Amino acid sequence: MKILGIETSCDETAVAVVEDGSRVLQNIIYSQIDLHAETSGVVPEVAAREHILKIIPALEQLDLDDIDAIAVTQGPGLISSLLTGTVTASTLGLILKKPVIPVNHIHGHIYANWLERDKIEFPVVILTVSGGHNELILMRGHSDFEVIGETLDDAAGEAFDKVARMLELGYPGGPAISQAAEDGDPTKYDLPRAWLDKDSFNFSFSGLKSAVLRLVQAGDFDKNDMAASFQEAVTDVLSKKLSMAAEKFDAKEVHLAGGVSANGRLRELAKERIGDRIFRFPEKIEYCTDNAAMIAAAGYFLQEKDVEWKNVSAKANF
Ligand code: KG4
Ligand code: ZN
């Protein structure tokens, strides 16, 4: 079964064709990063205009002759950006007479780990971390998602982006910080880690962000050491809670997903801490950040299933 995926929830205009939820036949991503670097963040109106300009040129590159269905990101995301994808999908569905499957963006990130893979064994514990969301999810089967932890304030990617801004490292912050951290000492600054209650799988990064801001405002700090110490604090908490969850729910597999899963230190610490369990992160970097192949995969595995979308994200706005 071939599914056309469409993703326009934030700042990537992406389309893809995926067969049987894992074989990526075509994957087109128009990134708006250069545009948003000028403002060190996404301006919704600017993103929306760019999606309108790019969605047709992106679709024109695909072979849509024998697709069976269309999967589209319905939310959460920027409403003015989402509209381009959903209107395009509905229109194409009408013209091609194909069903349109609405997909939750976070489910999309989760299914990025099914791309170019044969078999995944349940139960899976997934840490899905990006700019807009930050959840620990227990998955006992397709469409059986339980949110076991989430952020009480900022998402990890959001913290990376804001700290990069404080350190004047550019946008997006995640890759910039991990690059600066390579030449820094992660033990130089003793930054706070919010463990919360002993058994809690929730996260909080606002205290860490404020601690960095105070040191930056006080002046006389080393950028690389600060980037390394900040990255260490975030990845320490993320990987520790992920391994605790894997242990508690006796996960067969442990996955990282979302933009922050591209982070090398997070991958390293997670692998180290989860022991013998199968460890995966998306096969390619472009499957970590926003893309449409993951949306097509989610559409394939979740079609006809009754999924309670709103339970998955604390920040769902639809
Ligand atoms: O999944 P994504 O493309 O968009 C959202 O759904 O939010 O994730 C983007 C986020 C940004 O906050 C970016 O700074 C972060 O992922 N990111 C990283 C890395 N690459 C991207 N964070 C840490 N280390 C990285 N290497
Ligand atoms: Zn995303």
pLDDT digits (tens, 9 = 90+) for 180-238: 999 999 999 999 999 999 899 999 999 999 999 999 999 989 999 999 999 999 999 99
Q: Residue 182: nearest ligand to its CA?
A: 1
**Cα 110 to ligand 1 centroid, rounded to whole Å:** 14
Closest ligand 1 atom number to CA of residue 290? 3
**Cα 277 to ligand 2 centroid, rounded to whole Å:** 26
Helices 223-248 & 156-166, crossing angle to 10 degrees? 170
pLDDT of 253 above 50: yes
Q: Render pLDDT for 166-179 as a digit per residue (tens, 0 to 9).
A: 999 988 899 999 99
- pLDDT band of residue 318 (cuts 50, 70, 90) is very low
* Residue among 169, 270, 269, 267 nearest 227 (CA): 169
DSSP conformation letters of the chain: -EEEEEE-SSSEEEEEEEETTTEEEEEEEEE-HHHHHTTTS--HHHHHHHHHHHHHHHHTTS--TT--EEEEEEESS-HHHHHHHHHHHHHHHHHHT--EEEEEHHHHHHHGGGTT-S--PSSEEEEEE-SS-EEEEEEEETTEEEEEEEBSS--HHHHHHHHHHHTT--SSHHHHHHHHHTTS-TTSS-------STT---B--HHHHHHHHHHHHH----HHHHHHHHHHHHHHHHHHHHHHHHHHTT-SEEEEESGGGG-HHHHHHHHHHSTTSEEE--SSGGGTSS-SHHHHHHHHHHTT----GGGT-TT---
Query: Cα(185)–Cα(195) distance, rounded to whole angstroms?
Result: 22
pLDDT of residue 179: 97
**Cα 187 to ligand 2 centroid, rounded to whole Å:** 30
Q: Residue 36: nearest ligand to its CA?
A: 1
Q: Residue 41: nearest ligand to its CA?
A: 1
- pLDDT band of residue 49 (cuts 50, 70, 90) is very high
**Phi, psi dihedrals of residue 177, rounded to the nearest 5°:** -70, -45
Mean pLDDT of 100-112: 94
pLDDT of 307 above 80: no
pLDDT of residue 308: 45
Closest ligand 1 atom number to CA of residue 158? 12
**Cα 179 to ligand 1 centroid, rounded to whole Å:** 14
List all residues whose CB is within 6 A of at least one atom of ligand 1: 10, 130-132, 157, 160-161, 172-175, 178, 258-260, 262-263, 289-290
**Cα 156 to ligand 1 centroid, rounded to whole Å:** 9
pLDDT of residue 169: 94
pLDDT of 81 above 90: yes
**Which residue, judged by its Cα, is nearest atom 8 of ligand 1?**
259
Q: Name the average pLDDT for the chain.
A: 92
Q: Render pLDDT for 21-34 as a digit per residue (tens, 0 to 9).
A: 999 999 999 988 88
